[in-house]
Amino acid sequence: MNTDEAERDNSMNVPLLDLKAQYATIRDEMREAVDRVLEAQQFIMGPEVAALEKAVADYVGARHGIGMSSGTDALLATLMAYDVGPGDRVIAPAYSFFATAGVIARLHAVPVLVDIDAASYNLSPSSLEQLWGRLDRSVQQRVKAIVPVHLYGQCADMARILEVADRIGVPVIEDAAQSIGTIYRDGRFAGTLGTMGCFSFFPSKNLGGIGDGGMVVTSDDGLAERLRLLRNHGAQPKYYHKIVGGNFRLDTIQAAALLVKLRHLDAWHEARQKHADLYRDLFRQAGLVGTVGLPEVVDPTPGVRSHIYNQFVIRTPNRDALREFLTAQGIGTEIYYPVPFHLQECFGDLGHKAGEFPESERAAHETLALPVYPELMPEQQAYVVERVAAFHKVG
């Protein structure tokens, strides 16, 4: 948009995420940390990796952190730690980022999909129970894990999921890629409720690196040991391979950058929460509540950080038109995610049909993420809501 148009529209640029704005606040610390790694030239498993593993484990209250090359590889390694292989089954929600189901298929196991809860977008415990009841006994016996996702920054209903998991004797691996620092209602951190929890340091996550990165946290010594082996080709000692793993190591330079950013993480969470509160006020004042659905905190607990707003996701039946309108007004949005797993081309051989997971499909059609990054300004939020109101011709 050129200046004339901008003036005529009283327009503003509000990107979905502004990493440059964040970098401007930590530039000196970041450069110093990266420079230290450059001077040391210990790019693989340098001391910063262990330091970050300890810092993240301490932050969430786990015994171990195992740095990984990405959130995807973190998930992959947890399934490998349980020897998930051809013909095995792993239960996952039908609606999430692709990696949750992709890692299952990569091991030639079968993703067994469950619909989501409409309010939280997370795996529905009642659908999980129904699914389990429908599975043949021979299939039940092949189920190696349940992988709930804590989508957008809010925990799945872990009490009920863990209760079912316990009853059926299947371990729970948490995909907490979007929820590092989210606190469940019992005071425990996302990622520490199952046997293993996976984080992603993809740059758009609340704790984002300067490239790809991830981590598994666990309080099980045996699993931690196995994950450390798996991420380094199963070698111990070097060149003697106990098991077949991969190169899933976290780079030293990522760990160094993440150690800096971790110091700011709580302040960033707080800023995102403040923005979410302001959005709620603004949407209410604009008379938009009911016209657009605002994110629901399904388990609000006083004094507990139940949502870290990795994304602030609204829903509306007119999603695509709204998105197009906002794009034209200089407002960045994103659709997380347009296609649920059961309708993905690559999962065609699972034999699912449209209509099978109605809440996942509805979410795929209706959700839209608005800017909620920590450095977002109140006047930018006011502009976003004013433009959403203009689209709906209210306010």
Ligand X SMILES: *Cc1c(COP(=O)(O)O)cnc(C)c1O
Binds ligand X by CB under 6 A, chosen from 59, 121, 132, 202 = 202
Query: What's the min distance (Å) between Cβ of 284 and ligand X?
Result: 29
Mask 86-125, x = binds ligand X (CB under 6 A)? ----------xx-xx-------------------------
Separation of alpha carbons 16 and 14, rounded Å? 7
Query: What's the min distance (Å) between Cβ of 348 and ligand X?
Result: 22
Q: Are 77 and 68 in contact (CB under 8 A)?
A: yes
Query: What's the min distance (Å) between Cβ of 327 and ligand X?
Result: 22
Q: Which is nearer to ligand X, 113 or 149 (CB)?
A: 149
Q: Are 192 and 175 in contact (CB under 8 A)?
A: no
Q: Which is nearer to ligand X, 70 or 291 (CB)?
A: 70
Mask 119-158, x = binds ligand X (CB under 6 A)? ------------------------------x---------
Nearest to 42 by CA among 249, 260, 258, 263: 249
- Cβ neighbours for 231, distance < 8 A, ≥ 6 positions apart: 66, 67, 68, 69, 73, 77, 245, 246, 247, 248, 249
Separation of alpha carbons 248 and 218, rounded Å? 17
Task: State the number of binding residues for ligand X (CB under 6 A).
Answer: 15
Query: What's the min distance (Å) between Cβ of 3 and ligand X?
Result: 37
Query: What's the min distance (Å) between Cβ of 317 and ligand X?
Result: 25
Q: Which is nearer to ligand X, 215 or 370 (CB)?
A: 215
Query: What's the min distance (Å) between Cβ of 239 and ligand X?
Result: 28
Q: Which is nearer to ligand X, 310 or 329 (CB)?
A: 310
Q: What is the residue whose two structure tokens read 């994110």?
A: 295
Q: What is the residue whose two structure tokens read 């509540």?
A: 289
Query: What's the min distance (Å) between Cβ of 250 and ligand X?
Result: 11
Residue nearest to ligand X (CB): 71
Query: What's the min distance (Å) between Cβ of 67 and ligand X?
Result: 12
Q: Which is nearer to ligand X, 70 or 232 (CB)?
A: 70
Nearest to 225 by CA among 242, 213, 200: 242
Segment 161-200, which members bind ligand X (CB under 6 A)?
175, 177-178, 200
Binds ligand X by CB under 6 A, chosen from 93, 153, 197, 214 = 214
Separation of alpha carbons 247 and 265, rounded Å? 28
Separation of alpha carbons 151 and 98, rounded Å? 12
Q: Which is nearer to ligand X, 109 or 177 (CB)?
A: 177
Edge-to-edge strands, sheet with 196-200: 64-68, 214-218, 196-200, 173-175
Binds ligand X by CB under 6 A, chosen from 18, 88, 157, 212 = 212
Query: What's the min distance (Å) between Cβ of 334 and ligand X?
Result: 12
- Cβ neighbours for 143, distance < 8 A, ≥ 6 positions apart: 88, 89, 90, 91, 112, 135, 168, 170
Segment 59-78, which members bind ligand X (CB under 6 A)?
70-72
Q: Which is nearer to ligand X, 82 or 97 (CB)?
A: 97
134 burial class (0-12, 13-18, 19+ CB within 10 angstroms)? exposed
Pairing of strands 173-175, 143-146: unpaired
Question: What is the DSSP code string of 278-294?
Answer: HHHHHHHHTT-BTTBBP
Query: What's the min distance (Å) between Cβ of 103 and ligand X?
Result: 9
Q: Are 357 and 340 in contact (CB under 8 A)?
A: yes
Q: Which is nearer to ligand X, 14 or 68 (CB)?
A: 68
Segment 1-40, which members bind ligand X (CB under 6 A)?
none
Separation of alpha carbons 306 and 158, rounded Å? 13
Q: Which residues are at the interface with ligand X (CB under 6 A)?
A: 70-72, 96-97, 99-100, 149, 175, 177-178, 200, 202, 212, 214
